[in-house]
Structure 1
Amino acid sequence: MLLALLLAPLPAAAQQRASLANHLEQALAIDAAFRTLAAQRDAVAAQRALVRSAIPGSPSVGGDWRSNLRAGPGEANEANLDVAAPVWLPGQRAALGDTVRAGVEEFEARLLLRRLEVAGLLREALWNAASAGRDLRVARDRLATSRDIARDVQRRVDLGDIPFTDSLLVQNETLGAELGLAQAEAALIAARAVYRVLTGGAEPDLPAEAVIVVPPRVHPALLAANAGVAAAEAQVRLVAATPRDNPEVGVFGRNDAGRVNDLGASLGVRVRVPLASNARNIPRAASAQADLTRAVAERALRLRLLNAEIEASRVALRAAEEAARIARRRLAVANQQLDLARRAFNAGETGLFDLFRIRQLQVEAAGGQAQAEVNAGRARSRVNQAVGAVPGAEAHFVSAR
């Protein structure tokens, strides 16, 4: 259903996404949340060493030595040595392996989701910089036109065609245009600074996303939700496979020496089997089941939110593109009005106030058209964000079965 809406990416857009992908990698390299998730994934993956181990824990070595003081120091001695190790419960090793694998996959999915989130921050920052850049161009055009009109007015004032007070009006308009230009320059500097902070110094000199790209087969958020459910299910199976602590098997030896009744050495085997109890198992099972219930509910909620977000972004895109078309037509009319008004003013057929009133309409139309174009581009970017398209990360997504 969604693919019918999406357009095929253009070669130029592919190059742009590659550049944005480079900036995304720079941003992820300094993103605290992304680095934390990567460290947590590595910590879970390190548990594979336990799964590969022949025993589910560390072996232990113990011993003691006794001397019969009544017989005299060194006359009757006894030495004991004990070596023990835990053993796997039936099915525990496989269940733990499933838990580790599901945990790693969950963090991998959460890393993809964080990648998408950072991409969203970059997209918004990029469009903010693009918007500020367009506003700056509009402000420069306004100032250039104001100065052009000011030269015409000053020439006519010098010739005595119009009063000196008209030159004051032009000066006021020119100063206003200079103030608008200074404010636009400051806004652009601030927008570029935000982008540099996100990327660790990269400049937002990329062309903004202009097309809707083909989305991944599985949205990163849904991928993370599915992985969370799988991890919770694996934990439930692990709890079921470990109704008691691990049994322990040990070998001990004893050596008697000196003035004792039975001289010599002996060897024995010791087995320790903890018993299952409700006090231990009921809370663990309830906690695992609660995590599973939460994960399933979050997955259902995430799916509803994703569908709503995608539909809302599509509606917003259609509205933004229609607004951009109207804004372009309005600007064309305003430019034509301004051209006719300037000719009429130069011919003495209209006054300066009427010229500036029409000029103000043209400035508003130019600003509205620039903002409408930015809004349309931002809407396309938000569709890409809603469907889960990460710049340069299409290969990371696989189809869920």
Structure 2
Amino acid sequence: MRRRRWDIPGALAAAFLACGLPAQAQLPPTGGDTIKQGFEAAWARQPEQRAAALRRDAAVAGERAAQRWSPEPPALDLTAKSDRTTNNSGAREYEATVAVPLWLPRERSHSLAAASAESDAVEARLLATRWRLAAEVREAHWAHQRARLERSLAQQRLENAQQLAADVARRVKAGDLARSDGHQAEGAVAAADSAVAEATVALSQAAQRWISLTGKAAPARDEVISEVAPPAAMPDATHPTLRELAARADVARRQAELAGAQTRANPELRLGVSRERAELGERYAQALVVGVRIPLGSHSRSESKIATAGAEQLEAETQLSLEQARIEAEVQAARERVAALTTAVAAAERRSRLAGESRAFFAKSFRLGETDLPTRLRVEQEATDAERQATRSRIELAAAISQWRQSLGLLPE
């Protein structure tokens, strides 16, 4: 029977040994980056990726604004006075003044810190979005691999059933077997044919999901290419979710500090010149105008900003603590699942090998007339089930490694 090659990285065994996990199911190393290619294709289609450059530009513009020597652009104030509508004695006065807003104490440094925190938050949100997309790509990839497996095994089962039915038909014609045996064999073919149709539909659905996510055709290779097993470590602050929540808390903290510095409107420095005369015929007198505008009273909106920023900071920090505990539990569960599936792969392969040898024995015995058809069909079904379990366990192990990497916050490589 045709055998397919299933590839799991050789680094997997080394990682299991380093982690203290069993390494009975060591599989040959391979290369390949199907998941990575699908992930990059899917990310190129995401709206967040297309808007990323503009969001970075906005963050940089915010930092540049915080570095300016004035919080707001200067304003030009032009004034003209005349007695033309009263006694019209020729009195005139013209004044041109530039009003320059001034930073409040500590406002500029806090504005720069808030802008820098927002810039970091933009990158953290993009990374977290990529990480969540990686989870969808990994899930779609292994769902397609499982569907391909079911379709391949169903096709093999049909081919074996057809071969057996042809053999039974010849023996029925020769009088070696009863017609009921022929009906049993044809029933097995019909059941296998139905299983192929169901597996084909499932494979089509899985392929369509992959295409809708990545815009690329589904992988056509038969071999399973696993990701590299991750190191035995718990997630740290670089985990995309934790980094996003930490950045969100930092932005809220900086915004609260900025709101605490903006307790009133910005003062203004006024610089200008004036020209005036008392009556017609006199020369214009020029003067320099210097003034300072200082708002009085506190800014009522700053209290609302401080309270809102404080609530957001508390929420983000609380969620960060909860997410840290959840991710640690998820990583531990994923690691234990990989260990269990490693053992399961070894057991399933041993069962498949033994069932295959038994099938060969009973096939020869059936041809010699030493075994009846029900026994032959039972042995064939057991061998098919064993092969299905072995190949399925390899896919489940590879998918578990991907989930382990996902829980650690690692993107496809």
Any residues of structure 2 matched to 1:30-69 within 5 Å, and which? 30-36=45-51, 39-68=54-83, 69=85
TM-score, normalised by the number of residues in structure 2? 0.84
Any residues of structure 2 matched to 1:146-185 within 5 Å, and which? 146-185=161-200
Aligned: 1:104 with 2:119: yes
Q: CA deviation at 1:311?
A: 0.5
Aligned with residue 209 of structure 1, among 209, 226, 244: 226
Q: CA deviation at 1:56?
A: 0.7
Q: CA RMSD in A?
A: 2.9
In structure 1, C-alpha distance between the alignment counterparts of 2:212 and 2:151, rounded to whole Å: 22
Amino acid aligned to 2:58:
A
> In the alignment, is the contact (CA less than 8 A) between 1:250 and 1:271 conserved in 2?
yes
Correspondence for 1:395: none
Aligned: 1:243 with 2:263: yes
> In the alignment, is the contact (CA less than 8 A) between 1:150 and 1:171 conserved in 2?
yes
Amino acid aligned to 2:32:
Q
In structure 1, C-alpha distance between the alignment counterparts of 2:117 and 2:20, rounded to whole Å: 33
Q: Please, which moves more after superposition, 235-244 or 97-106?
A: 235-244
SS at match of 2:169: helix
In structure 2, C-alpha distance between the alignment counterparts of 1:323 and 1:2, rounded to whole Å: 14
Change in Cα spacing, 1:21 to 1:210, as seen in structure 2 (3 Å) is closer
In structure 2, C-alpha distance between the alignment counterparts of 1:294 and 1:39, rounded to whole Å: 28
SS at match of 1:57: coil
Q: CA deviation at 1:385?
A: 0.9
Any residues of structure 2 matched to 1:306-385 within 5 Å, and which? 306-385=327-406
> In the alignment, is the contact (CA less than 8 A) between 2:48 and 2:126 conserved in 1?
no
Any residues of structure 2 matched to 1:259-338 within 5 Å, and which? 259=279, 264-277=285-298, 279-338=300-359
SS at match of 2:32: helix
Q: CA deviation at 1:213?
A: 3.0
In structure 2, C-alpha distance between the alignment counterparts of 1:368 and 1:310, rounded to whole Å: 26
In structure 1, C-alpha distance between the alignment counterparts of 2:259 and 2:62, rounded to whole Å: 17
> In the alignment, is the contact (CA less than 8 A) between 1:225 and 1:299 conserved in 2?
yes
Aligned with residue 229 of structure 1, among 224, 229, 249: 249
Correspondence for 1:128: 143
In structure 1, C-alpha distance between the alignment counterparts of 2:20 and 2:43, rounded to whole Å: 27
SS at match of 1:46: helix
Q: CA deviation at 1:146?
A: 0.8
> In the alignment, is the contact (CA less than 8 A) between 1:41 and 1:103 conserved in 2?
no
Correspondence for 2:275: 255
Q: CA deviation at 1:92?
A: 1.6
> In the alignment, is the contact (CA less than 8 A) between 1:127 and 1:208 conserved in 2?
no
Change in Cα spacing, 1:4 to 1:108, as seen in structure 2 (3 Å) is farther
Aligned: 1:5 with 2:19: yes
Q: Please, which moves more after superposition, 358-367 or 144-153?
A: 358-367
SS at match of 1:129: helix
Change in Cα spacing, 1:304 to 1:3, as seen in structure 2 (3 Å) is farther
Amino acid aligned to 1:238:
L
> In the alignment, is the contact (CA less than 8 A) between 1:83 and 1:250 conserved in 2?
yes
In structure 2, C-alpha distance between the alignment counterparts of 1:103 and 1:301, rounded to whole Å: 23
Amino acid aligned to 2:350:
R
The alignment of Structure 1 onto Structure 2 pairs a total of residues equal to 387
TM-score, normalised by the number of residues in structure 1? 0.86
Change in Cα spacing, 1:5 to 1:297, as seen in structure 2 (3 Å) is same
Q: CA deviation at 1:303?
A: 1.0
Gaps of 5+ in 2: 1-14, 22-26
Change in Cα spacing, 1:240 to 1:121, as seen in structure 2 (3 Å) is same
> In the alignment, is the contact (CA less than 8 A) between 1:331 and 1:365 conserved in 2?
yes
Change in Cα spacing, 1:263 to 1:32, as seen in structure 2 (3 Å) is closer
Gaps of 5+ in 1: 393-401
Correspondence for 2:239: 219
Q: CA deviation at 1:4?
A: 4.1
> In the alignment, is the contact (CA less than 8 A) between 2:271 and 2:291 conserved in 1?
yes
Amino acid aligned to 1:52:
Q
Q: Please, which moves more after superposition, 148-157 or 236-245?
A: 236-245
In structure 1, C-alpha distance between the alignment counterparts of 2:391 and 2:28, rounded to whole Å: 25
Change in Cα spacing, 1:364 to 1:276, as seen in structure 2 (3 Å) is farther
Change in Cα spacing, 1:92 to 1:113, as seen in structure 2 (3 Å) is same
SS at match of 1:353: helix
Q: Please, which moves more after superposition, 320-329 or 108-117?
A: 320-329
SS at match of 2:19: coil
